Amino acid sequence: MSLDHSKSSNALPLLAGALAAASFVSMDGVIKLMALRYDALQLSFFRFAGGSVFAVLLWAWKRSPLPERSAWPLHVVRSLFLLVSLVGYFHALTQLPLALAVTISYLAPIFVSVLAIPVLKERPSSSIWAALALGLAGVSISLWPELQAGLDGKSTARLLGMLSAAVAAVSFAFVMLFARKQSRSDSVWTILLVQSLLPLVLLAAPAAWSWKPLLASDLLLVLLAGGLGTLGLLCLTYAFTRLEASRVAPLEYSSFVWAAVLGYLLFGEVPTLTTALSAALIVGGCLLLLRR
């Protein structure tokens, strides 16, 4: 009976983690729709501005307590990592196909599982390492053709875009680790409020340097991106408060399928054979994780 209860109690956080991945990649698709009109800084500002609308409303509804003074330094550090992650990733979206940018972001779960050992004192099981190995193999297969083209000098801009996405992945790994750590002292509504408003304030001045007027037709896209990002952060925080970070992180691999579908429907990006093989390995890693 207790085993069945344990399985059912773990199922909901795992589903929340998968929903977070789908929400984030859908937000990426919305951002990429605006990438031809705005730079990465302004796109990041739009993301936090749209997310702040929902974060403030949810916090006003729940009225959760604000962080204690001793907790603010960690919130600031996490917000800075989140800024680096989003600005770097949104720059990558302006240079790369959606599926490729998402594939590089899969480096984040690997760093999470490794860093969770010294930071959170977790001990990932062998099945988690196997799932991560399959995911890493899938990422490597997908990246190799692009990396080879970049080294041959045929696509320097895309190579820089890949590097930008990799830096974003490392930064987001720290964001996820801090989410696990902060969830022990602050409510999800408070974390959502702070990590929406604080980056918005920090981004205001840099984004103003190259600001372009927001088109009226893009206002709904800004709100949609903010709503999807908020949903993703809520689901991710929920999952991290109930399961080990090293177990939740590999669920990020499931967003590859969403990226391939949205890339084709929105931008006409047809997945290559290497992309399909990469997806098979990544999905295999997810199934192994869920089976555990």
Length of the chain in terms of residues written: 292
Residues 245-272 pLDDT 10s: 667 766 777 777 788 888 888 888 877 7
Tell me, what's the pLDDT at 81?
92
Tell me, what's the pLDDT at 254?
74
pLDDT-flagged residues of the chain (< 70): 1-9, 120, 124, 146-155, 183-184, 245-246, 249-250, 286-292
Residues 26/262, Cβ–Cβ less than 8 Å = yes
What are the boundaries of each domain within the chain?
A: 17-291
List the Cα angle 213/267/161 in 5-degree steps: 70
Residues 108-156 pLDDT 10s: 777 777 777 777 677 767 777 777 787 778 777 877 776 666 555 556 7
Tell me, what's the pLDDT at 219?
95
